[in-house]
Amino acid sequence: MTVDLLLNDPILKDLIVTAITLIAAFLIIEWTSYIIRKAGKQWNIDLTLIQVLNEIIKYTVIALALTIILNEIGINISGIVLSLGIVGIAVGFAARDTLSNFIAGFFILADKGFRVGDIIEISNQQGRVLKMGFRITTLKTADNKIINIPNSSFSKDLYINHTSVESRRVDLDVTIPYEMNLDNVTKSLKHAALGLGGVLTKPQPDIQIKELSDTGVKATLSLWIDDPWNVTDYRTSLAKEVKNILVDKNA
């Protein structure tokens, strides 16, 4: 079968044009993404902006590719637009969550409440922002779990950006037995907290007496760090030091 015969076959011609269009779209998306990433590193462009540009180009290229394919197979784009206008209300109700996520994504970028690399907490989920898309924001937790948060959640629920805070407090509840000297124990606890690597000296570790219980004096030992990602690790290390102090002094 010659090339002329292939091109004269309308079905085969449509398939060839569709395949070429899809391949070209894929190559354009990959090529532009590579160029943007390379330019971002060279000019120190914010990673959040790079991801947004990639998303805009990706969806634009996909829309253009679909338009070309639909025109090639003889589907009237104008008719589709008119039909979408007629059933727009129904589609709007069906896709309201998706549209809400898109709109929320624009507001997140405009507000600059957080960016890629920040550690945020929302709905009892905490993680480092890996990707900010127009529909979802992807987080990576301390135990390497990947969580996708719909962007609309950030307009409905409160969220905390731990990275924007200069220091993060680490609290540990302790119970000091009555038979132990309270002043000596509190001094030892503060000294142990300050001895942990990376603990800030301003403000210094502190201990607050909360209440008197049947088992002893309940207190909260606090220290401050500048790395919100390691709160759990510091609390664990602090608990070990506290246990050693209470056991040794009570022995």
pLDDT computed for residue 8 by the predictor: 62
Per-residue pLDDT tens over the stretch 15-68: 888 888 889 989 998 898 888 778 777 766 666 667 777 777 887 888 888 888
Closest by Cα among 223, 216, 224, 234 to 174: 216
Element (H, E) at 14: helix 10-43
Place of tokens 């480092």: 128
Distances (CA, A) of 169 to 56, 121, 192, 203: 39, 15, 16, 10
Report the distance separating Cα 8 and Cα 180, nearest Å: 96
Token pair listed for 45: 């462009």
Predicted confidence at residue 248, as pLDDT, reads 64
What pLDDT does 71 receive? Answer: 80
Res. 105: pLDDT tops 60: yes
Domains (range + CATH), the chain: 3-86 (no CATH), 115-161 (2.30.30.60), 168-250 (3.30.70.100)
Q: Is 35 exposed, middle or buried (0-12, 13-18, 19+ CB in 10 A)?
A: exposed
Look at residue 218 in the predicted model and tell me its pLDDT.
92
Tell me the C-alpha to C-alpha distance, in Å, between residue 21 and each of 10, 29, 63, 224.
Answer: 16, 12, 11, 56
Q: How far is Cα 56 from Cα 184, in angstroms, rounded to an integer?
A: 62
